[in-house]
């Protein structure tokens, strides 16, 4: 076991080099300001920077915006809407990157309270993407006087933006010499803007990586400095290509320095409430985590083996739900061999769940940093599953190497894993071959080819240029070249709305098919993770039950993004007596904690219904935002058949007993009829049934959400929510009677 107390510290950055880099900076604009102190979780100020002319504006956030949009993702979407128009695309100068942490973010009494939300028009989906991320930037931005930041325009040369929240200085600087890869750039800027070694923990950097200039899958890294390891850690706003937009604006990095984090910088209404609930939460973690998920030991990767047991772990591009080889990457392997134990691994102060694990002094075997020993943040479950079994890989060494390079190049591990799995299946089916890939033999489990693809993407060379497109555009390209059948590729490419699926196989859970398909941004599990409730527990057997779940959970989970909260402390640890509660799946005591936290910070008392209403306002706003940009209707919620059922004969045959039984129990065939059917007939009957079930699900869910059967929020529902804003009505009113 690798123990924190035995860990050597990482070497310091070369300060002479950093001095040279700093001297090469040219200040393009600098302003001074008086940082506004927080009051009950808010500054009511937003910072707007246009890198086309380097203008810096500090603007008020009106009370009406606060009431309707709360903060976090709500603010991000509100001000993104105001910046763009229906013709705006991801690379339009007016496309904004908006970041906001939410009113509860930055408290240190409770776990998971440092999240920042990031939104932009995505290069992958052409609609708003939202992504949440840990690290210190979000809280530091608040403490520096801003509830949100908005970045627009396009710089002529690489710039960095620096906010010093103590001195009240904001500058836009030309920055030509710094490296692009995140693990180096984060170290350089942290050392550059810290006053001394002790000050490094007060510097937070946002950056992408060298792939971001050309790769649609690019994300944003948010750093925090880890004083025990003497290394900059990286957390990711991963989904939807935000890093590509960042690089297109030629923003190399965003830096915020703030010294003086303490218990009540939010100037909360009643800190006693926060202390009481925080203490209760920390005790739960201390006494129960080892018996529950052991998040403190292996982070979210604890669940790999378990999900394989339930046929949920995507394997070979979601063909299957698990593999016997998953034992090579079970929780004990990560804990014993790879992940450092005993570190204070929270991605914000005060999080005792500490799930941000690392593999330390990890020796790289490929790529530009071959031979270097580095700190690898992760792997999270999604990274390990997507980079691993989904591509036929179960070697932790390879998964960690892929994880490291994705992070430092600025590539989203989820999209990369899912996309590579698609490419491998294309290769296995002759859509791709060695000639077309430039020599990459992308067969299942070929780690060498997988890593080489990643390096090629980062260098924008060869087949890497195709890899950089993402699955959605790859399908069209392969079809144009005459390499593959579009219908087949539509079935097996696990993307919807242009975004690759996250890492759960949803074939046996209709509710989870909706949990992915009926999302605003695309198939990410952070709205509704219903597989167990549906597939295993059988708790939501009817369409009404599933619709209720697909109403409640997306709204409930949206609330975390409004407030600046991490979802994990909600249900990855549960109270000892949670089983005794009426609806244990909702973890009612923790929901009450969150209501307390909101009250304790803002002084505004809300109940569970209010919580859902707060989310509904933003959720419907985002839906209408999609419609404004030409999507957001029922046709855009269609999903690939691979997420619903077996596309290929080998998939059907691998679970033949199950599928044959379902033809009797669900489709209504007799056992004799099933026995007489050919494999192709069985597959066709299965497909017809499953696809019609999904349509029935939509018919149940949309009205529950207050939408027409075409997926358009009704005027009556918007009025009920207080969201009958003129700009929203202008879009939805003409669509009220339009049939799907």
Who's near 657: CB < 8 A, 6+ residues apart?
none
Q: Are strands 169-174 and 159-164 parallel, antiparallel or unpaired?
A: antiparallel
Residue number with CB closer to other proteins (167 or 283): 283
What is the rounded CA–CA span in Å between residue 213 and residue 244?
6
Q: Is 664 in the site for other proteins (CB under 8 A)?
A: no
Q: Is 568 in the site for other proteins (CB under 8 A)?
A: yes
Residue number with CB closer to other proteins (300 or 686): 300
Task: Return the range that interacts with other proteins (CB under 8 A); candidates 227-235, 285-293, 465-473, 596-604.
Answer: 285-293
Q: Is 565 in the site for other proteins (CB under 8 A)?
A: no
Q: Is 356 in the site for other proteins (CB under 8 A)?
A: no
Q: Is 529 in the site for other proteins (CB under 8 A)?
A: yes
From 30, 481, 537, 680, residue interacting with other proteins (rule: CB under 8 A)? 537
Q: Is 454 in the site for other proteins (CB under 8 A)?
A: no
Q: Is 219 in the site for other proteins (CB under 8 A)?
A: no
Q: Least distance to other proteins from the beta carbon of 408, Å? A: 22
Q: Which of 618, 611, 582, 613 is nearest to 596 (CA)?
A: 611
Q: Which of 154, 175, 193, 164 is nearest to 54 (CA)?
A: 154
Q: Is 224 in the site for other proteins (CB under 8 A)?
A: no
The encoded tokens of residue 600 equal 């304790």
Residue number with CB closer to other proteins (26 or 536): 536
From 580, 609, 672, 737, residue interacting with other proteins (rule: CB under 8 A)? 580
Q: Is 345 in the site for other proteins (CB under 8 A)?
A: no
What is the rounded CA–CA span in Å between residue 573 and residue 284?
7
Q: Least distance to other proteins from the beta carbon of 536, Å? A: 5
Q: Is 347 in the site for other proteins (CB under 8 A)?
A: no
The encoded tokens of residue 351 equal 């999080």
Residue number with CB closer to other proteins (397 or 571): 571
Task: Return the range that interacts with other proteins (CB under 8 A); candidates 194-202, 306-314, 397-405, 447-455.
Answer: 306-314
Q: Is 412 in the site for other proteins (CB under 8 A)?
A: no
Helices (H), 362-445: 381-387, 396-409, 413-428, 434-437
- The angle subtended at Cα 373 by Cα 424 and Cα 357, nearest 5°, is 75
Q: In this structure, what is the dihedral angle of CA atoms 78, 84, 85, 88, given to the nearest 10 degrees? A: -130
Q: Is 504 in the site for other proteins (CB under 8 A)?
A: yes
Q: Is 552 in the site for other proteins (CB under 8 A)?
A: no
From 63, 291, 672, 675, residue interacting with other proteins (rule: CB under 8 A)? 291
Helices (H), 524-607: 531, 543-563, 568-571, 588-602
Q: Is 584 in the site for other proteins (CB under 8 A)?
A: yes
Q: Least distance to other proteins from the beta carbon of 310, Å? A: 7
What is the rounded CA–CA span in Å between residue 535 and residue 243?
36
Task: Return the range that interacts with other proteins (CB under 8 A); candidates 15-23, 425-433, 441-449, 567-575.
Answer: 567-575
From 381, 560, 641, 659, residue interacting with other proteins (rule: CB under 8 A)? 381
Q: Are strands 159-164 and 251-257 parallel, antiparallel or unpaired?
A: parallel
DSSP string, 605-654: ---HHHHHHHHHHHHHHHHHHHHHTT--SGGGG---GGGTS--SHHHHHH
What is the rounded CA–CA span in Å between residue 34 and residue 431?
60
Q: Which of 245, 217, 128, 129 is nearest to 629 (CA)?
A: 128
From 585, 612, 667, 677, residue interacting with other proteins (rule: CB under 8 A)? 585
The encoded tokens of residue 655 equal 């679970």
From 131, 293, 358, 593, residue interacting with other proteins (rule: CB under 8 A)? 293
What is the rounded CA–CA span in Å between residue 447 and residue 684?
35
What is the rounded CA–CA span in Å between residue 275 and residue 563?
18
Q: Least distance to other proteins from the beta carbon of 585, Å? A: 6
From 536, 671, 676, 679, residue interacting with other proteins (rule: CB under 8 A)? 536
Q: Least distance to other proteins from the beta carbon of 500, Å? A: 16
Is the separation of the CB atoms in 415 and 239 below 8 Å? Answer: yes
Residue number with CB closer to other proteins (406 or 457): 406
The residue ranges that bind other proteins (CB under 8 A) are 291-294, 300, 303, 305-306, 309-310, 380-382, 504, 525-526, 529-533, 536-539, 541, 567-568, 571-572, 574, 578-580, 584-585, 587
């Amino acid at each position: 076991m690798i123990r924190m107390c035995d860990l050597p510290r990482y070497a310091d950055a070369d300060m002479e080099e950093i001095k040279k880099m700093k001297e090469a900076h040219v200040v393009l604009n600098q302003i001074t300001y008086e940082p506004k102190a927080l009051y009950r979780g808010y500054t009511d100020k937003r910072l707007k920077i246009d890198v086309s002319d380097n203008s810096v504006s500090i603007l008020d956030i009106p009370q009406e915006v606060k009431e309707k949009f709360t903060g976090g993702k709500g603010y991000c979407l509100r001000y993104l809407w105001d910046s763009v128009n229906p013709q705006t695309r991801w690379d339009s100068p007016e496309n904004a990157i908006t970041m906001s942490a939410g009113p509860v973010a930055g408290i240190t009494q409770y776990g998971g309270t440092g999240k920042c939300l990031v939104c932009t028009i995505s290069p992958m989906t052409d609609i708003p993407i939202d992504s949440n991320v840990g690290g210190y930037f979000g809280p530091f931005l608040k403490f520096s006087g801003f509830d949100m930041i908005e970045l627009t325009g396009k710089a002529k040369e690489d710039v960095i933006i620096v906010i010093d929240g103590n001195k009240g200085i904001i500058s836009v600087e030309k920055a030509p010499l710094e490296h692009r890869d995140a693990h180096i750039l984060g170290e350089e800027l942290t050392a550059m803007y810290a006053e001394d070694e002790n000050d490094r923990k007060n510097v937070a950097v946002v950056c992408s990586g060298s792939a971001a200039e050309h790769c649609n899958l690019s994300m944003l890294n948010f750093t925090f400095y880890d004083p025990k390891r003497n290394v900059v850690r990286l957390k990711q706003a991963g989904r939807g290509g935000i890093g590509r937009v960042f690089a297109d604006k030629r923003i190399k990095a965003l830096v915020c320095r703030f010294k003086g984090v303490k218990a009540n910088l939010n100037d909360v209404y009643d800190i006693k409430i926060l202390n009481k609930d925080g203490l209760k939460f920390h005790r739960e973690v201390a006494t129960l985590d080892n018996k529950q998920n052991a998040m403190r030991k292996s982070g979210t990767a604890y669940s790999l083996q378990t999900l394989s047991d339930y046929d949920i772990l995507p394997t070979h591009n979601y063909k299957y739900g698990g593999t016997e080889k998953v034992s090579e990457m079970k929780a004990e392997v990560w804990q014993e061999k790879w992940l450092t134990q005993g570190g204070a691994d929270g991605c914000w102060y005060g999080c005792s769940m500490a799930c941000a694990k690392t593999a330390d002094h990890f020796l790289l075997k490929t790529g530009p940093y071959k031979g270097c020993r580095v700190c690898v943040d992760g792997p999270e479950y999604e990274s390990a599953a997507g980079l691993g079994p989904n591509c036929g890989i179960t070697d932790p060494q390879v998964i960690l190497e892929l994880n490291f390079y994705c992070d430092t190049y600025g590539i989203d591990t989820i999209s990369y894993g899912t996309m590579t799995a698609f490419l491998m299946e294309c290769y296995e089916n002759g859509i791709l071959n060695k000639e077309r890939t430039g020599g990459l033999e992308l067969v299942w489990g070929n780690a060498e080819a997988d890593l080489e693809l990643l390096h090629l993407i980062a260098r924008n060379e060869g087949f890497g240029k195709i890899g950089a497109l993402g699955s959605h555009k790859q399908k069209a390209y392969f079809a144009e070249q005459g390499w593959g059948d579009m219908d087949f590729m539509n079935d097996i490419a696990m993307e919807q709305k242009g975004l690759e699926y996250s890492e759960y196989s949803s074939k046996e859970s209709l509710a989870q098919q909706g949990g992915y398909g009926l999302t605003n941004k695309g198939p990410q599990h952070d709205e509704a993770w219903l597989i167990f409730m549906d597939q295993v527990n059988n708790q939501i057997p009817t369409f009404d039950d599933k619709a209720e779940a697909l109403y409640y959970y997306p709204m409930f989970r949206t609330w975390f993004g409004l407030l600046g909260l991490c979802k994990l402390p909600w249900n990855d640890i549960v109270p000892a007596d949670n089983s005794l509660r009426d609806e244990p799946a909702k973890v009612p005591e923790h929901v009450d904690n969150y209501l307390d936290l909101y009250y304790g910070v803002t002084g505004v008392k809300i109940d569970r219904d209010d919580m859902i209403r707060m989310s509904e306002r933003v959720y419907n706003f985002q839906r209408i935002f999609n419609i404004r940009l030409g999507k957001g209707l029922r046709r855009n919620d269609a999903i690939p058949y691979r997420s619903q059922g077996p596309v290929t004969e080998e998939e059907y045959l691998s679970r033949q007993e199950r599928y044959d039984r379902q033809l009797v129990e669900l489709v209504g065939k007799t056992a004799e009829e099933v026995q007489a059917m050919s494999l192709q007939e069985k597959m066709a009957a299965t497909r017809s049934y499953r696809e019609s079930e999904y349509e029935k699900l939509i018919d149940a869910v949309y009205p529950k959400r207050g939408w027409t059967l075409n997926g358009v929020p009704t005027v009556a529902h918007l009025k009920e929510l207080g969201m009958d804003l003129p700009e929203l009505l202008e879009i939805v009113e003409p669509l009220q009677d339009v049939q799907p």
